[in-house]
Amino acid sequence: MIKDYMAIINLDENENDIRSLTTNRPIASIPLGSRYRVIDFMLSNIVNCGIQNVGIFSGTNSRSLTDHVGTGKAWDLNRKIDGLFVFNHGLCDFVNHDSKLLKNNMEYIYRSHSDNVIFASSYMVCNMDLADVVQAHEASGADMTVVYKSTDEADSEFLNCYTLDIDENTNRLLGVGKNIGFSKDANICMEIFLMKKEKLVELIYKSAHNLESKSFISFIFNEMVNLNVNTYKYDGIVLCINTISSYYRSNMKMLTPEVSDKLFRSDRPIYTKIKDEPPTLYVKGCEVKNSLIADGCIIKGKVKNSVIGRYVDIEDDVEIEDCIILQNIRIHKGAKLSHVIIDKNVDIEEGTELKGNETFPLVIEKKNLFKYFLLLA
């Protein structure tokens, strides 16, 4: 267990290519793997290494996030001393709003008794032992350590992520770029940074007063040329959730033992909000193969290679294959779905046929319950 560290999760993440699922929520609170949310993985990584002071800095669409994390009880962060803190924008500036949010809540950082900070994003899903990263950082004597993943899938799984040019002999950072999918091989930045608290404070003030700074993360990368930056190579499974297609493939990978066994470990569990639903009812005659199904569902039809969220009602003669079905959805008799992502609160009518493909899955967006109840009235 590590000591003298606090953690900040910055949710100013690029949502341009996953907008269908982030209209009313940040990437961090998108459901993943039937019963989890994206942020569960980074939050669990942080508490599993012993950190007890965590700040989440979010944008304006944070209602679902605050509902999910609550007081932090699921992660043992509902504490009188330290614990979980959530900060969000009142109004969103179009430029550099994350730096201004950090600056406006600087008192939270000052009041922490920790001298060091882990600064991370949520959209890189992994099960990481951060204690190993801390040990490597402190041994390096560097101003900052940044975590990266060396991959041969950069052209498909990590588009628009930052890439790192690294001196293989010293592990020192030489330069930063952007992955535009030109090459399969790249060192992908996982946007996990370790540094002294005083260094973070210095960077926040500089970024907030820099008229050319577009975001705090981009400012950090620009400032790296002036710092002694160490790198840490992570060899575990990483799922990048920043596009619709990567979100779809990440859920499908969770159906394979090669990925699920490394993401969900008994020695480093992934925690999430507990809702105490009844167990799923599998009605006689239904067929379920290679699928993740959360509690509270009723299954009467056929489900294959799919991820099913809470409170999903699948009626007779329904066929679902290679789909992601989020919570509170009813799929009526005779519907046939293939390569479809269905967001919350949707009714699929009887006999409906919907089909996408692995590269371009069909997305049915979330229904606004307020508008639905107005129509009923």
Least confident of 105-114, 251-260, 299-308: 105-114
CA 111 from centre of chain: 27
Residue 100 has pLDDT above 50, yes or no: yes
Mean pLDDT over the full length of the chain: 92
Residue 343 has pLDDT above 70, yes or no: yes
Average pLDDT of the segment spanning 6-14 = 93
Q: Which two tokens stand for residue 21?
A: 């699922």
* pLDDT range class, residue 369, cuts 50, 70, 90: low
User: 21-75, pLDDT tens digit by residue?
Assistant: 998 899 999 999 999 999 999 999 999 999 999 999 987 788 899 999 999 999 9
User: 73-92, pLDDT tens digit by residue?
Assistant: 999 999 999 999 999 865 55
Q: What percent of the chain has pLDDT above 90?
A: 79
Integer Cα distance of 325 and 309 in angstroms: 6
* pLDDT range class, residue 192, cuts 50, 70, 90: very high
Integer Cα distance of 15 and 120 in angstroms: 16
Q: Distance of CA 52 to CAs 3, 5, 73, 241, Å? A: 9, 9, 12, 26
pLDDT for res 370: 47
Integer Cα distance of 178 and 301 in angstroms: 45
338, 356 contact by CB (below 8 A): yes
Average pLDDT of the segment spanning 170-188 = 92
Ordered DSSP codes for 34-68: TTEETHHHHHHHHHHTT--EEEEEE-S--HHHHHH
Return the axis-axis angle of helices 216-223 and 97-104, rounded to nearest 10°: 90
Average pLDDT of the segment spanning 258-280 = 94
Residue 97 has pLDDT above 80, yes or no: no
| DSSP 8-state symbol, 166 | E
What's the residue count for the chain? 377
* CATH entry 3.10.350.10 includes domain 5-263: no
Average pLDDT of the segment spanning 95-119 = 87
Residue 255: how many other CB atoms lie within 10 Å: 16
Residues 6 or more apart whose Cβ sits within 8 Å of residue 197: 6, 109, 112, 114, 115, 116, 117
Q: Distance of CA 349 to CAs 147, 311, 331, 368, Å? A: 46, 17, 7, 17
pLDDT for res 356: 95
Q: Is the dihedral of CA 11, 16, 19, 24 positive or negative?
A: positive
User: 139-168, pLDDT tens digit by residue?
Assistant: 999 999 999 999 999 998 999 999 999 998
Q: Which two tokens stand for residue 255?
A: 């159906």
Residue that has been written with the tokens 């490597």 in this structure:
136
Which part of the chain has CATH 2.160.10.10?
281-376
The structure's pTM equals 0.93
342, 324 contact by CB (below 8 A): yes
Average pLDDT of the segment spanning 197-223 = 88
pLDDT for res 72: 96
pLDDT for res 153: 93
User: 232-247, pLDDT tens digit by residue?
Assistant: 999 999 999 999 999 9
58, 86 contact by CB (below 8 A): yes
Residue 171: how many other CB atoms lie within 10 Å: 16
* CATH entry 1.10.540.10 includes domain 281-376: no
Average pLDDT of the segment spanning 105-134 = 95
Integer Cα distance of 210 and 232 in angstroms: 29
| DSSP 8-state symbol, 255 | T
Which part of the chain has CATH 3.90.550.10?
5-263
